[in-house]
């Protein structure tokens, strides 16, 4: 199956466009940023709504607390910084003041994963999905491309409750239609197939699309699911697909521990134990390099998806 | 309100505190007793608020955040007596299925609580956020907070302090419970705050001080603080208190920060605290 490439853009720019649109349509939306306005593409919102934009400086803990407080009185705050500083650095602030207190804060986390690139492992968080999906009350969204990140940003504002919205730095192909419907918690089935289910999120959705051609040439029928919402997980979509395919590959730009793969494995173990292979970073920190070099070195590239499919098919037999 | 009336309420609040903590053999009586006078003043005279019809959004009413959440017994007692929930509910403190959690939380929907606290250092940031929303909403009511002195050892407090002054968040009045003691001992032995007044001044705050056990001092200082609202600077009050105030054996030591009295000690405490409004 051919996927039309609609353009090439970074997912963070999708966030920037979504936030700007929210600025025009929802007067309750406010934005806070910890000295990364350009990196998060928040300039347009800031320019159009200076009174609703709050530059907090390099003080992420204070930013999370402020965002929680701003909900009292009806505002919908979006915090902006890198994924690393949006999660581990401020876990306790998110836990107590946002998740436990059920505050309507949207945590916009950019530069997630290895594809942050040259800055290296200090900034390449690979544990954030795990940290966030463990928190009660938290919704976790990892959109696949520019258009979907824009849609997810807008959908986050309409959702009442804490949201962790994870996106990235590199320019990647756009394949989600600009007018596609985005529903939090409802997976997108991109291709229907009968031999294997690939469940991917974020940049790995495109890597999985790239794998399709090779797999189809080998006569393998793939059902590819874009699992943009990690929590709440679309359990029905998973069970419906594996009822046909009887094996799964999960693919994500995250540590194997705690991520999408873990979440899917839990569903399978409880409902339908079948073989699963994991395309994810295996218990190691990253390093400096270009985004694509790093995806290759750390085993989250297109050939890794293909190899995982072959391995899981062999196990199925 | 007359001082005599406030004293009566505070005496009952102190009885509630020691009884609540003793009933479950856990909780934090020391700081709770030390802040009983201040919180009684704040809720019965100092703030404009709406106990009969609690609203999470607190639009057009003053709002208070307890950042040092471990002194939950005092806020629960004051909230109950001022009308947020039945006084009888104090008997459920720290028990299974209670709305009165060990540290205040919102998830059990206790009227009067707008934010969980307990993990220290977060309340000033929260208060700044609420204060900014009030400004955006053209709401001229004020935001009050209370912090422990030991809590000021948390770095987030100073991130927040820097932000509020730099951005002229001038609809906030923070109060520091300066009792000089924390769990491990005297504050100066654990980690000295140095010249606390000079620190807040250097961060750009308007600094006031008061005696947290003298209603005249509290009233006068709060009136001065309120007169400074809207003047371009956040306001902090360094409130001198005694941990364990009102119960002789709990004063002059850090040891009752987080320890509950036994039956005999409870009786001794109650003998020193007049029952004025009726025990729960």
CATH number at residue B36: 3.40.50.970
Residue A162 has pLDDT above 70, yes or no: yes
Let me know whether A12 and A149 are in one domain: yes
Let me know whether A20 and A167 are in one domain: yes
A258/A246 Cα distance (integer angstroms): 23
Put simply, the answer to whether A62 touches B159 (Cβ < 8 Å) is yes
Structural domain boundaries, residue B97: 3-272
Put simply, the answer to whether A73 touches B107 (Cβ < 8 Å) is no
Domain-embedded: residue B279:
no
What is A90-109 written as a DSSP string? GHHHIIIIIIITT---EEEE
pLDDT at position B103, please?
98
Which of A108, A143, A174 is where one domain is finished?
A: A174
Residues A198-214 pLDDT 10s = 999 999 999 999 999 99
pLDDT at position A1, please?
62
Per residue, the 3-state secondary structure of A143-188, as one string, reads: CCCHHHHHHHHHHHHHCCCCEEEECCCCEEEECCCCCCCCCCCCCE
Let me know whether A67 and A165 are in one domain: yes
Which of A174, A201, A232 is where one domain is finished?
A: A174
Let me know whether A141 and A18 are in one domain: yes
Residues A107-149 pLDDT 10s = 999 999 999 999 999 999 999 999 999 999 999 999 999 999 9
Distance from CA of B56 to the nearest CA of A (A): 7
Q: What is the longest distance spanned by two Cα atoms in chain A? A: 62
A111/A100 Cα distance (integer angstroms): 26
Residues B42-100 pLDDT 10s = 999 999 999 999 999 999 999 999 999 999 999 999 999 999 999 999 999 999 999 99
Domain-embedded: residue B24:
yes
Residue B198 has pLDDT above 90, yes or no: yes
Let me know whether A224 and A128 are in one domain: no
Q: Does B55 touch chain A (CB under 8 A)?
A: no
Q: Does B60 touch chain A (CB under 8 A)?
A: no
pLDDT at position A219, please?
98
Let me know whether A193 and A169 are in one domain: no
CATH number at residue A196: 3.40.50.920
Three-state DSSP class for B66? strand
Put simply, the answer to whether B128 touches A72 (Cβ < 8 Å) is no
Structural domain boundaries, residue A105: 7-174
Domain-embedded: residue B278:
no
What is A241-276 written as a DSSP string? HHHHH--EEEEEEEETTTSHHHHHHHHHHHH----E
Of A57, A61, A65, Cβ closest to residue B129: A65
pLDDT at position A317, please?
74
Of A51, A52, A97, Cβ closest to residue B116: A97
Let me know whether A13 and A159 are in one domain: yes
Tell me the Ramachandran region of residue B77: left when phi exceeds 0, alpha when psi lies from -120 to 50, beta otherwise: alpha
Domain-embedded: residue A182:
no
CA distances from B126 to A38, A93, B64, B84, B207 (A): 26, 10, 10, 22, 20
CATH number at residue A126: 3.40.50.970
Residue A239 has pLDDT above 80, yes or no: yes
Measured between beta carbons, which residues in chain A are less than 8 angstroms from residue B130?
A: 69-70, 72-73
- Which of B49, B110, B114, B126 to probe by mutation at the A interface, max A CB count within 10 Å? B126
Q: Give the CA count within 13 Å in the CB-facing half-sphere of A134.
A: 15
Question: Which 20-49 residues of chain A touch chain B by CB within 8 A?
Answer: 30
Distance from CA of A143 to the nearest CA of B (A): 28
A60 annotated active-site: yes
Let me know whether A163 and A194 are in one domain: no
Structural domains counted in chain B: 1
Domain-embedded: residue B23:
yes
Q: Does B169 touch chain A (CB under 8 A)?
A: no
If we measure between CA atoms, which residue out of B24, B29, B25 comes closest to residue B242? B29
Q: Does B168 touch chain A (CB under 8 A)?
A: no
A207/B8 Cα distance (integer angstroms): 71
Structural domains counted in chain A: 2
Domain-embedded: residue A180:
no
Count the helices and strands in chain A (H runs, E runs): 12, 14
Domain-embedded: residue A107:
yes
């Amino acid at each position: 199956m051919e996927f039309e490439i609609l353009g090439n853009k970074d997912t963070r720019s999708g966030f920037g466009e979504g936030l700007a649109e929210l600025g025009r349509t929802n007067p309750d939306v406010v934005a806070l940023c910890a000295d990364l306005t350009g990196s998060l593409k928040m300039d347009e919102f800031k320019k159009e709504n200076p009174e609703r934009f709050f530059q907090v400086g390099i003080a992420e803990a204070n930013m999370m607390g402020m965002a929680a407080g701003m909900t009292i009185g009806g505002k919908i705050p979006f915090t902006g910084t890198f994924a690393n500083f949006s999660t581990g650095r401020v876990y306790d602030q998110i836990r107590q003041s946002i998740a436990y207190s059920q505050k309507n804060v949207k945590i916009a986390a950019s530069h997630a994963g290895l594809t942050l690139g040259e800055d290296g492992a200090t900034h390449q968080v690979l544990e954030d999905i795990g940290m966030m999906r463990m928190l009660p009350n938290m919704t976790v969204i990892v959109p696949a491309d520019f258009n979907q990140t824009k849609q997810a940003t807008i959908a986050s504002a309409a959702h009442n409750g804490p949201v962790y919205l994870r996106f990235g730095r590199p320019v990647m192909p756009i394949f989600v239609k600009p007018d596609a419907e985005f529903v939090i918690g409802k997976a997108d089935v991109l291709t229907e197939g009968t031999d294997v289910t690939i469940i991917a999120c974020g940049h790995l959705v495109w890597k999985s699309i790239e794998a399709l051609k090779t797999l189809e040439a080998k006569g393998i029928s793939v059902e590819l699911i874009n699992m943009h919402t990690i929590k709440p997980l679309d359990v029905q979509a998973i069970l419906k697909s594996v009822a046909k395919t009887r094996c799964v590959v999960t693919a994500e730009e995250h540590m194997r521990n705690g991520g999408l793969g873990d979440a899917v494995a839990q569903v399978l173990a409880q409902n339908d134990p079948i073989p699963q292979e994991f395309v994810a970073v295996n218990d190691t920190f990253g390093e400096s390099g270009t985004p694509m070099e790093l995806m290759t070195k750390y085993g989250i590239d297109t050939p890794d998806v293909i190899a995982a499919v072959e391995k899981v098919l062999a196990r199925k037999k | 309100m007359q001082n005599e009336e406030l004293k009566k309420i505070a005496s009952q609040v102190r009885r509630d505190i020691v009884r609540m903590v003793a009933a479950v053999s856990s909780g934090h009586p020391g700081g709770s007793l030390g802040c009983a006078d201040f919180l009684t003043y704040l809720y019965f005279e100092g703030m404009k608020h709406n106990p009969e019809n609690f609203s999470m959004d607190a639009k057009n009413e003053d709002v208070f955040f307890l950042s040092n959440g471990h002194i939950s017994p005092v806020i629960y007692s004051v909230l109950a007596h001022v009308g947020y929930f039945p006084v009888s509910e104090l008997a459920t403190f720290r028990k299974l299925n209670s709305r009165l959690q060990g540290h205040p939380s919102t998830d059990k929907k206790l009227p009067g609580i707008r934010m969980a606290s307990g993990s220290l250092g977060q309340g000033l940031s929260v208060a700044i956020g609420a204060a900014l929303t009030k400004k955006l909403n053209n709401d001229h009511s004020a935001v009050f907070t209370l912090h422990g002195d030991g809590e000021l050892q948390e770095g987030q407090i100073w991130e927040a302090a820097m932000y509020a002054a730099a951005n002229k968040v001038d609809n906030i009045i923070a109060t520091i419970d300066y009792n000089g003691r924390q769990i491990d001992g005297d504050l100066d032995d654990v980690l000295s705050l140095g010249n606390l007044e000079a620190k807040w001044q250097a961060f750009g705050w308007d600094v006031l001080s008061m005696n947290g056990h003298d209603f005249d001092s509290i009233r006068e200082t709060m009136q001065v603080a309120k007169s400074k609202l809207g003047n371009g600077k956040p306001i902090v009050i360094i409130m001198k208190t005694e941990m364990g105030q009102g119960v002789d054996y709990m004063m002059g030591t850090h040891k009752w920060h987080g320890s509950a009295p036994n039956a005999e000690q409870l009786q001794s405490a109650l003998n020193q605290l007049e029952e004025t409004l009726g025990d729960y």
